Each structure stands twice: as structure tokens, then as C-alpha cells.
Chains A and B, each alone.
Chain A
């Protein structure tokens, strides 16, 4: 028999997905508004660096955004794969968690790159 993530672990994944959804609702809105405002005068690398370089607030915002997006997406894919492909069990759950954290790490690294550029 396949080892399953404990029920407690399953509930924690579910709670994590709901909490990240709440964060994303705010973060996506801020992100879209920023894009719309930022491109009004044309989009240049200098503009982006001018806004983000050395700015701790934006770094924190994008780090939280990337973490929420990575985890939320991976947990969602986990659920779809479990239902549609029957990919269930502890091994798959750990793999999805790894994929989520890796995705988040790419995003955070990009945010850090712009902060420290």
C-alpha cells in the first residue's frame, strides 16, 4: 500500500492553499495596478530598476507574492493530478511541495536580483 500523507498534513496543505489564495488576491491586484501605472510612460529596464533597486518594501512584497504563487499553484496541481491521474501518496505530495518551493525560489531570486542590482 502507498504511504499517504497524514490527514493532518492534507488539511495543512488545504489551509496553505486557502491562505495563499488570500495573499494572491491582494498581490495580483497590486501587481496588475503597478503594471498598468508603470507602462503608461513606456516600459524601460531603467524604470523597473529605479522602482525596485534597494527598495525593501518591494522586495518583501515580491518575495511573499512568489512564495504564495509557487505553493498555491503546486498544491492545486497536486489536487488535479490526484483526481485526474490518480497520483496520490506521500511521495507525490513531497514532490509537489518541492516543485512549489522551487518555483517560489526562482521568483524570489528574481526579486532579489532586482533589489540588489
Chain B
């Protein structure tokens, strides 16, 4: 019978965790963290902050994959840390390297500044605007939206976004063009383009068009590959392109 090391059978006893400390300029500091049988990357970060170094800055809230606060770069890949088990990513030697999310300014240590990310949601007009009531009153027309309708299914496909920024940090186009709106904002826009109750369609399509919008996407699908909610922002962006292609070609744009 082949001999297996204790590490291979049970995993490592301690984890070697390199953590980014500082702002844009900074460096890694290594911490030794006791390995547990069942442990998330967020558990590891919390343990470091509570037991080893209370000055470590990071962000989290719900711990159950709902709020989108705790995303970081784990061993080179953007992930939601509260739902990422160490055993899946640390390898047999128990190594972790944690950085803040890429493509965003660093506030400190593992906390990225999400301001550009959410500003772009606003720029892409990612806010529902009722059709009949620009003043915020209850609309007179009551829309019945059949859940099985094509448009509602398109909207539902992207509606569960928690705004964690993993797609944005994984997107090559964002790294090449800082003005690019990014997968999450465009995915949000596509859900609203398919919302029959929304009254800002022309403005939204104008906001997501062009070099800073959907037309810069190369469809390399890092966003879709890395989305922890298994959404498909790449398909949403393709939908926006398709819509704008025919609208432009047929002169349907105002």
C-alpha cells in the first residue's frame, strides 16, 4: 500500500498565510494560523486579526454569501472569502496569499475602495426608474409581468448579483481601460433593459454604449468564470451589444 504523508491524509496542521499590508505601496507579511478541518478564508483572516494583529484591515458583514463585502484576491484569484473553504484553495502545504481586490484603489491591507465600482453602477443607470411616475408616485399602469416571459427570464438570470466586485477585479478590459463600466454594472443594466416596468430605456442604452460600455467587452468571460453566484455577466453584455446593434442598424435609436 502506498505511503501517504499525514499532510495528504489530514491536511496541514498550520497554514502559512501571506497577507498584503499597506496601501498601493506595501508588502506581504506572513502569519501562521492553526488549520481546522472546516475553515473558510474569512475565518483565517478574522483569526489573524483577533489573535495576532488587531491592526489588520479587512471588510466583511454577513459571513454567509449574501452581502458581497468580503471579496479578496486569494492565491491570485478574486473570490468571496466567506464561502471559500481553505481546503479548496490552500493546497496540501496549506499556503494562502491574500491581497485586496484588483482593479480598485486600496484603502488599507485587504480593504479595497469600492467607490469606482459603485459609481459605475450609477453611471450605467443601474437604478430602476418607474415608467409612469417620474415624481416617485405610484404608477397608474399596473404591469403584470409573467415570470415565464422571455424578458423576465433574461432579467432573472442576472438579478441575484450581490455586488461583491469579483467580476470587476477579474476583468481584463477594466485593467486596460479604467473608464470601462465593468461586468457588474452592465449586468445590472441588462436586467433593467429587460424590465418592462422601467421607463429609462433610451437613456440607459445610451449610457452603456461605446468604448467605456458594452462595446469594449472581448467576451473572454473571466467575469462569468469567477462569479461566485454563477451569474453570466458576459451573456448580459452580449445581450446589450445585440440590442444596440439592431437598434443602430435599423435606426431605432433616438
Interface positions of A (Cβ within 8 A of B): 4, 7-8, 10-12, 14-15, 18-19, 79, 82-84, 88
Contact = CB atoms under 8 A, between A and B. Distances in A.
Contacts of A12: 248
Contacts of A11: 209-210, 215, 244, 248
- Closest 6 pairs between A and B when the two form their complex, measured CB to CB: A7-B210, A10-B210, A83-B176, A14-B215, A11-B209, A10-B211
A56 B124 CA distance: 48
B177 interface: yes
The listed residue with most B CB atoms (<10 A of its CB), out of A4, A11, A79, A88, is: A11
Interface of A is mostly: helix
Interface residues of B, number: 16
A84 B177 CA distance: 9
B248 A88 contact: no
Interface of B: 173, 176-177, 206, 209-211, 213, 215-216, 241, 244-245, 248-249, 253
A15 B206 CA distance: 15
B203 to A, nearest CB: 12
Nearest to A17: B215
The listed residue with most A CB atoms (<10 A of its CB), out of B215, B244, B245, B253, is: B215
A80 to B, nearest CB: 10
A11 B211 CA distance: 8
Contacts of B210: 7-8, 10-11
Contact of B249 (A10, A15, A88): A15
A91 to B, nearest CB: 15
Nearest to B179: A88
